[in-house]
Structure 1
Amino acid sequence: MFDIFRKHTRIMMMVMFLLIIPSFVLLGIDGYSRMNETDVPVARVGRTDITQAQWDAAHRAEADRLRASMPNIDAKLLDSPEARYATLERLVREQVVAQAADQARLSTSDARLARFLQEDPTIASLRKADGKIDMDRYRQLAASQGLTPEGFENNVRFDLARQQIEVAVSASGFVVPAVADVALNAFFEKREVQLVNFLTKDYVAKLNPTEAELDAFYQKNQALFQAPEQAQVEYVVLDLDAVKKGIQIPEAELKAYYEQNAQRLSGVEERRASHILITAPKDAAAAEREKAKLKAEELLKTVRANPSGFADLARKNSQDPGSAAKGGDLEFFARGAMVKPFEDAAFAMKKGAISDVVESDFGFHIIQLTDIKLPQQRSFDELRAGLETDLKGQQAQRKFAEIAEIFTNTVYEQSDSLKPVADKLKLEIKTADKVTRQPLPGVSGVLANEKVLSALFSADTLSNKRNTEAIETAANQLVAGRVVTHQPARTLALAEVKAQVQAQVLATQAAELAKKEGAEKLALWQAGTAPANLPAAQVVSRDQALNLPAPVLLAALRVDTAKLPAWAGVDLGPQGYAAVRVNRVVAREAAAQASLVQSRGQYAQWWTGAESQAYYALLKEKLKAEILVPNPEKKQ
């Protein structure tokens, strides 16, 4: 398919040049950007489309957030169809609420925005000692979300407007205690039941299916006996580790790097201090802070007169609950561990010295520096391995883009084999058997990546046995592969799957026999013929199922209690059949007042949640919101 491009590369480059340059002149770069942004819609709210590109970007951001908060999370869970669909549902919900807020003319005033930002813990952590926001860190916070400070504030403004829509319902929800009690009493009601099981496994030994029955089942259910499409593949991976293998660091460069970084790599200076703290929060009245300062100055005079009594004075007077009992001892700390005024004073003192009164956001400190721990410089030989790893990592980062281009070009230009790129870049050609279009359970790494599998099983790759293009599977990781042998999906012969067919026929016939006998016995018992040797009765409820299968528990709770005892039959599907007898209703036990209040509160939350969900469903219908891609859970 691509032979003409490979044989006439220069001609095709000239043609492309002549085609592309005029279009840039006519449309401009912005025109191309806009064309890129016009993507396939995956959802629609009113007249607003949510595109595939927006969905992908939102899911990447969500996955990055989850990885940062849960570093050990399985990456496959984050990129599953269900996780991606959940992100799309969230985008739709945000758009629905945003449009509802816009139609209701809801907005956020500058005063409310400022108040929210002042109270936000994340913003509060950016305050400097003088109480002002560190604008450099504020800009970094916004940039981490791909925004300017103005864009960040606009997002917050929009979020606050959206919240007014949802809070209008959630904050107004309430449940009358009497109504809650009726529902809760029904929910927690208990019933005494006796269960008779007719299990499939107990009937298997009574059956012996014929060859004709096996063949008939096989012919009718051939879709159950498919060998999936499989391929034997080769692939190569270019990542930072692969690039590092080709990097050699000269000894002179290692020693120079050691000289520049020896102090940093050997550790940091630590200091040990004791302090006496007289607390006075920064937002306290001026008179209160002045009073605390005067008390600290009086204590300082006492300390200077008798430095050896510092610990006793701290035990009696320090208002720091964490250190007062230890004579004010704060143990060893490095820079960054204490508030800045305290740190500046402690690291400017000599061992044994006592500071003047130091003011911080917590109050007023008197500091005694008790020890200094200087880092012991480590030798070149001790640090050599780490230095080499650091330098190789730095150089690999710088060289990756250059080598990635070589990798990409080589797998394309010499597409009939992976050996040229492996030889050129010293990469290992890896092989894998029985690779399928969808990753098999337990498979990890690049062969679990949907983009890699899609490329390997593309029509061009399968028919021409050419290399795939270079595929980016992670940051600083490229993969290319090729199919060595391919086996299409096929129906397995009866001889190959006879044991499976026999097991399924036995299971089907045994389940039918169990259901038949169970239904017949149930009819007799319901007619008044009491069964003998019923198992012991047990008391069950929705919150105490006692290992009862969910369908059995539900059937027992749905039995009409007007005339007891009463029977119900339950089809357990492949497991067989069950007959359950309800003997009596056990009323809900009277709950303690605290428990009663808690359960009513929980019920109110459920009710409010249901109202919020119903309101959202109404908004979706009103705004004609729809998701245009299939729900993966409904396909299963």
Structure 2
Amino acid sequence: MVLLIFPSFVFFGVQGYTSMRDNEAKTVADVDGQPIKLAELETAHRQQIEMARRQMPNLDLKLADSPELRHDTLEGLVRERVLAATAFRDHLGVSDDRLARLFRADPQFAALRNPDGSVNKEILAARGMTSEGFAQELRQEFTLRQVLMAVGTTTVLGQRIQQQALDALLEQRDAQWQLFLAEDYLDKVSPTEADLAAYHQKHAERFRSTEEADIEWVQLDLDALARQNPVSEDELRKYYEQNLSRYTVAEERRANHILISVPKDAPAADRDKAKAQAEALLAEVRKNPASFGDVARKHSQDPGSASRGGDLDFFGRGAMTKPFDEAVFAMKPGEISNLVSTEFGYHIIQLVAARGGERKSFDAVKEELAKEVGRQVAQRRYAEAAEQFSNMVYEQSDSLQPVVDKLKLERRTATVHRTPAADTKGALASAKLLEAVFAADTVRNKRNTEAVEVGPNQMVAARVVAHRPERVRALAEVKAQVMELVRAEQAAALAAKEGQQRLASLKANVAENLPQSGMVTRVQADPALPPTVTDAVLRADLSKGAVAVGADMGANQGYAVLKVIQRVPRQAGDADMARARPIVSRAWAEAETEAYYASLKRRFKVTQHSTADLAKLAGQKEEKNN
């Protein structure tokens, strides 16, 4: 089972509750006399599919385009509308001060907060939002939260009820079992053609293909424009010369130094004394350069480097004060400088090593230059080309060839589905493009789509060549799949038959033992026992002692024969009991919250389409589009 958890994405707010739209569309739900239209549901569902695609790239998005999940989307819209109606009725709201406190305290907004707790406007802008729009949306969300928060945070669970719930959750029973696995019976079944046909007919929806279209499409982007206008070698060389620093490894020097510290504004006598000391040390190290480190450790007044023999490690040009920098970059490795005066005092510098300064040749970076300069030129042309692209695919809508010829674009082909596969990348993964491709006019009249922006500096138009509506695939197309499913079903039936025979024997003599045994509990479930089997063990009636029961393992896995012996009390101070208490309390609070929400739905006379109703509407829409 795949669970799709979609965050709330539509906030109607108190004001929004009183203004609804699109009276001509089909109504799929009604809250307090205010309709929710099919068009609104379709928009919301597309948003959820796109959100799922971003959050779970490996998810098969075909699962999201189903009546069941459309019903979940509708339920979300109804819930928002009910909460908005309640907030409107009860005059609920959030003050500016409280809104700011909630924003700063809520962990889900951590990525949107600056260090001082304010909202990061740059991140909002990247998401296409303003700070004012975000504040309004946040206010609406917190307003709706208040409706149910009062119930969920004030629930008090009595000790006796809590203990009963804990006992049911943590119950453990001593049991024995024998599993009749369907996989062990596969070699004993041979489905006939009639079996396959009957299964295909009975489970036709399982073999329904999704709507698809063969399209041709073109994309305008910077790479396409760059290919059309290659940059000459002279232009590349000019760019190379203008940006030599980018293709040159930064120069670095490693030096030792001795500092005799004296402020620049010190009295002349003090500066003369410091200079004399520095000159004496300079003479000493020039006489014996190998002693430089020892002299630095003994006499240097630089607290950061003296203990390391004056070693400053490698540093780049401009990292040191200017006189020091100019002196060291004029030296050769092994040299010892004259005295260098800076605002810190007098320095004696020994250059240890030099590195960097190597320049990449033009030929080595020519390909990189061509791409970079080409994209710069393309960027300057893009706005004009995009306008041409948009106009041509619209004005000459019966073919993409004119825009291909005019802008020298590549015409491509593809087969696409209304919902892209999880591994689809690039333009064909764009929900906006696919919505345009499967629009009624595009499909029916084979006209170009409008120009669709699928990314920064990326514009696409497409044209449907062939369209195949959703349909049940013929048995011949899916015969191998049907054969596998029928064999599994028949093998499970054989397993169940033998299992039930064994169960009858065990019931006749419940003292018999089964081959496997253990403690069965929901908390530490045995991986060999499916949930249906665990549930059967814990539901068995032990009022008359040990009992024999059977359980279907589900999903054509087989059949389980069970002997449930006794209930095993938990020990005092059981760790599972302590861990489960807050879980039970939260579950109870959630149950009371949902009960209150159900009462609100009754209060506002909510009506809404069922899953079957939505499936029927989707089918009618397909027929109309085709």
Using a 3 Å threshold, how does the CA distance of structure 1 residues 394 and 178 change in structure 2: closer, same or farther? farther
Secondary structure in 1 matching 2:556:
helix
1:610 aligns to what? Answer: 591
1:424-435 equivalences under 5 Å are 424-432=406-414
Secondary structure in 2 matching 1:406:
helix
CA offset at residue 537 of structure 1?
Answer: 0.9
Q: Check if 1:310 corresponds to 2:303.
A: yes
Secondary structure in 1 matching 2:303:
helix
Identity of aligned residues (%): 40
1:584 aligns to what? Answer: 566
| CA RMSD across the alignment | 5.8
The question of whether the paired residues in 2 share the 8 Å contact of 1:231 and 1:436 is answered with yes
2:157 aligns to what? Answer: 175
1:119-268 equivalences under 5 Å are 125=114, 127=116, 153=135, 158-177=140-159, 179-208=161-190, 232-250=214-232
CA offset at residue 580 of structure 1?
Answer: 1.5
Matched to 1:555, the amino acid is A
1:272-287 equivalences under 5 Å are none
Instruction: Select the residue among 535, 539, 556 that pairs with 1:554.
Output: 535
The question of whether the paired residues in 2 share the 8 Å contact of 1:59 and 1:84 is answered with no
2:556 aligns to what? Answer: 574
Instruction: Select the residue among 87, 92, 112 that pairs with 1:106.
Output: 92
Can you give the 5+ residue segments of structure 1 that lack an aligned partner in the other structure? 1-33, 128-132, 273-305, 316-325, 335-344, 356-372
CA offset at residue 190 of structure 1?
Answer: 1.6
Secondary structure in 2 matching 1:537:
strand
CA offset at residue 557 of structure 1?
Answer: 0.9
Using a 3 Å threshold, how does the CA distance of structure 1 residues 424 and 56 change in structure 2: closer, same or farther? same
The question of whether the paired residues in 1 share the 8 Å contact of 2:178 and 2:516 is answered with no
2:500 aligns to what? Answer: 519
Matches of 2:112 and 2:204 in 1, distance apart? 63
Matches of 1:73 and 1:239 in 2, distance apart? 24
CA offset at residue 192 of structure 1?
Answer: 2.1
Matches of 1:459 and 1:153 in 2, distance apart? 38
CA offset at residue 180 of structure 1?
Answer: 3.1
CA offset at residue 556 of structure 1?
Answer: 0.9
Secondary structure in 2 matching 1:103:
helix
Provide, for residues 98-122 of structure 1, a one-character-per-residue CA deviation record: whole Å limited to 9, x for no partner.
4433432334445545666777877
The question of whether the paired residues in 2 share the 8 Å contact of 1:518 and 1:578 is answered with yes
Matched to 2:503, the amino acid is L
Using a 3 Å threshold, how does the CA distance of structure 1 residues 564 and 446 change in structure 2: closer, same or farther? farther
TM-score by length of 1: 0.61
Matches of 2:433 and 2:225 in 1, distance apart? 21
2:282 aligns to what? Answer: none
Moved more, 567-576 or 377-386: 377-386
Matched to 2:225, the amino acid is V
The question of whether the paired residues in 1 share the 8 Å contact of 2:443 and 2:467 is answered with yes
2:600 aligns to what? Answer: 619
The question of whether the paired residues in 1 share the 8 Å contact of 2:207 and 2:472 is answered with yes
CA offset at residue 541 of structure 1?
Answer: 0.8
Question: How many residues are matched?
Answer: 524
Q: Check if 1:536 corresponds to 2:516.
A: yes
CA offset at residue 553 of structure 1?
Answer: 0.9
CA offset at residue 582 of structure 1?
Answer: 0.8
Matched to 1:565, the amino acid is A
Matches of 1:152 and 1:588 in 2, distance apart? 51
The question of whether the paired residues in 2 share the 8 Å contact of 1:85 and 1:632 is answered with no
Using a 3 Å threshold, how does the CA distance of structure 1 residues 549 and 348 change in structure 2: closer, same or farther? farther
Q: Check if 1:404 corresponds to 2:380.
A: no
Q: Check if 1:601 corresponds to 2:601.
A: no
The question of whether the paired residues in 2 share the 8 Å contact of 1:271 and 1:347 is answered with no
Provide, for residues 208-256 of structure 1, a one-character-per-residue CA deviation record: whole Å limited to 9, x for no partner.
5566666666676677777877665433333333233224345566566
Larger radius of gyration: 2
CA offset at residue 559 of structure 1?
Answer: 0.5
The question of whether the paired residues in 2 share the 8 Å contact of 1:407 and 1:421 is answered with yes
CA offset at residue 629 of structure 1?
Answer: 9.2
Can you give the 5+ residue segments of structure 2 that lack an aligned partner in the other structure? 1-18, 255-298, 326-340, 345-353, 619-626
Matches of 2:535 and 2:246 in 1, distance apart? 67
Matched to 2:301, the amino acid is S
Matches of 1:42 and 1:354 in 2, distance apart? 80
The question of whether the paired residues in 1 share the 8 Å contact of 2:61 and 2:422 is answered with no
Secondary structure in 1 matching 2:230:
coil
Using a 3 Å threshold, how does the CA distance of structure 1 residues 586 and 50 change in structure 2: closer, same or farther? same
Using a 3 Å threshold, how does the CA distance of structure 1 residues 267 and 609 change in structure 2: closer, same or farther? farther
Moved more, 90-99 or 555-564: 90-99
Matches of 1:479 and 1:175 in 2, distance apart? 58
